[in-house]
Amino acid sequence: MKIIKICVDDLLELKKPHPCGSKIFRALRIGSEIRVVCEGCGRDMVLPRPKLEKTIRRVMPRSIPSDGDKP
Ligand SMILES: [Zn+2]
């Protein structure tokens, strides 16, 4: 089983779009329930972690580490 690591401020692309059309959500609070806010319309919602993980297509970390990765 694949474990999805989610951090606060990560952007999550979900399989199911929000009614507003956006599929990008930002994680606000991580716990047994995860609070996310829609990047399209700004509405937030709380989902149980297992339910949310099933609908995640991919996680895009908000802060990309650049140190120690020289060309
Ligand atoms: Zn929305």
Dist CA 51 CA 25 (whole Å)? 15
pTM: 0.81
Residue 5 placed within a domain: no
Cα(15) to ligand 1 centroid in Å equals 14
Q: In terms of residue numbers, what domain contains 43?
A: 11-60
In the chain, the number of structural domains is 1
Residue 68 placed within a domain: no
17, 19, 28, 47 from 31: Cα distances, Å? 22, 25, 10, 10
47 contacts 60 by C-beta, under 8 angstroms:
no
Cα(3) to ligand 1 centroid in Å equals 26
Residue 24 placed within a domain: yes
Cα(44) to ligand 1 centroid in Å equals 8
Is 51 in a helix, a strand, or coil? Answer: helix
Residue 71 placed within a domain: no
What's residue 65's pLDDT?
61
What's residue 62's pLDDT?
76
List, for residues 10-69, the tens digit of each pLDDT value. 999 999 999 999 999 999 999 999 999 999 999 999 999 999 999 999 999 876 666 655
